Structure 1
Amino acid sequence: MSLQALWSLFQAHPGRIVNDLALFFALAGGWLLLATRRRERLALARLAAESEVAPVPLDSVEPTARMNRFFYRFGFACMALAMAVSWYSTQLGQ
């Protein structure tokens, strides 16, 4: 599809195209939050299994927690961006 056809589609339905972008951000942010939650649960289960065998050093836990916090923040930022873009798409029709 050429760039001119995409531009004419945007001009014909600007709110829909921008709302599709908001949907993309919401799906990406939601998937990131779910994947981070799953990874966090798996890490906790692995730590619980390892702690039964031998004590777990705290220096191996902190980088994982820091990475999880980053992905949670990024996921919530994507969700907030999706909400802002969706709100903006409703203002395009007026």
Structure 2
Amino acid sequence: MSSDGFLETLPPDHRPRLTHAELAAKIRSRPGLWKQVGSYASRDGASAAASMIRTGQRPAWRKRPDGRYEAEPRTTKKREHLVFVRWIPTTPRSS
């Protein structure tokens, strides 16, 4: 880093990050429980992301015969705009 705070290249990012598919599988492993999946700069961004999950606009969140995802945006008292998702398995029909 130069003395004025500028960098020629960024340092490595060591933040662990799951893919959408890995996150969806993790959520399916705990049916009915909500998991925070994202933090957004605005309520509109969180609402749009939740809508994309609910409507299956990304391959990992597509509708499945064994259940569905519920996704909801929430804004905290600290004005954080978050998205939570849970898996609701399909209940087998009784004959």
**Smaller-chain TM-score range?**
under 0.3
State TM-score, norm by structure 2.
0.26
User: Which structure shows the bigger proportion of residues in strand conformation?
Assistant: 2
User: Which structure shows the bigger proportion of residues in helix conformation?
Assistant: 1
State TM-score, norm by structure 1.
0.26
Larger radius of gyration: 1
Structure number with the bigger relative contact order (C-alpha 8 A, sep ≥ 6) is 1
